[in-house]
Structure 1
């Protein structure tokens, strides 16, 4: 595997081919599918304190464990479903993170009173426009912003859990609301 142009071996996307492919073809690309958006949020929650590579390797299994990221299905789940997930080898066995996944589904369903769907809600923070920061080096990419602080506060007020400014910033990058691709790495 070659390093991305004008980046070093320590850059996260250069750790292996899986991360490099994710960086080049998925991360920072605008997403509007509600299931994908909920899935990315839950995966960001699951990755807190861990690493994204581990979560990315489990992406398909997590999608299956969480009913294809169908918010209505997950929102209706109860204790038996919680217990099932706590023993599922593809899921991070953390009570708070699984509870946060259920809360995210419930909050997503509740959004429809004010927003069309999760896509409408997530993109409303930027009036539907992608923020392109054009960093030229990895150290120019922040881990949070005024936008992620604002959105995290709003999300918490709507019942989402485990959504601090750093997790929300990572989520916005994964969802393509923010594009922090290093300019020279894409040449």
Structure 2
């Protein structure tokens, strides 16, 4: 059984169950992402999570990385039916046929967005005007499951042919990849993510990144 990690620092309460959750919360969740391969990774993982717990997916993350070619959308887009059937025999992932087929389909759609916009990163960040949304929640109960931004992004992705990209799934992606800062205000990561978001050092589309 995973051991609980004592909350020596104030953290968002959702992450306190397991050490793996804490590590993910402390090091990744909410950090602004501007790498297309990372975006594709989270699209696969968040889609796989639908109807399941995030802890289930975190435990299988390495398995997904191996099975889905290090989350390379070019390689995944070329998976054929034979390859998919082999994947569905692998216990390292959630063996859901619809989700695996969706991942391959989404890889193709992902490449189409890259071709149209130059990068998936530019496309997805345009839904928040290329600046992270900084929320100020006092407790976990205030954090929404969806927003108007996730609704709009989900609707557009579905129109483009993506699967397993409902607004709840997409908002989870936005939270994970730093398009929105949903750390609770008392969480030690809230100010750190706020600072990282204000810098946007890796975002070539933010013309205000050098301003005071």
The normalised TM-score by structure 2 is 0.83
Pairing 1:79–2:81 present: yes
The DSSP-based 3-state class of the residue aligned with 1:24 is helix
> Aligned match of 1:5 in 3, 7, 10?
10
Any conservation in 2 of the 1:108–1:117 contact (CA below 8 Å)?
no
Task: For structure 1, list consecutive stretches of 5 or more residues without a partner in the other structure.
Answer: none
Q: CA deviation at 1:6?
A: 7.1
Q: CA deviation at 1:40?
A: 0.5
State the Cα deviation string for residues 11-44 of structure 1 (Å, max 9, x = none): 3211111111211210011111111110111100
Distance 1:121 1:92 in 2: 28
Q: Which of structure 1's runs of 4+ aligned residues deviate more than 6 A? A: none
Distance 2:17 2:188 in 1: 16
Any conservation in 1 of the 2:45–2:57 contact (CA below 8 Å)?
yes
The DSSP-based 3-state class of the residue aligned with 1:125 is helix
Distance 1:185 1:175 in 2: 18
Structure 1 or 2, whichever has the larger Rg, is 2
Match in the other structure for 1:100: 102
> Aligned match of 1:34 in 33, 36, 45?
36
For residues 1-187 of structure 1, the aligned pairs below 5 Å read: 1-3=5-7, 4-5=9-10, 11-186=13-188
Any conservation in 1 of the 2:11–2:188 contact (CA below 8 Å)?
no
Any conservation in 2 of the 1:61–1:90 contact (CA below 8 Å)?
yes
State the Cα deviation string for residues 71-106 of structure 1 (Å, max 9, x = none): 111111110111111011111111111111111101
What root-mean-square deviation, in Å, do the aligned CA atoms of Structure 1 and Structure 2 show? 1.4
Distance 2:142 2:155 in 1: 24
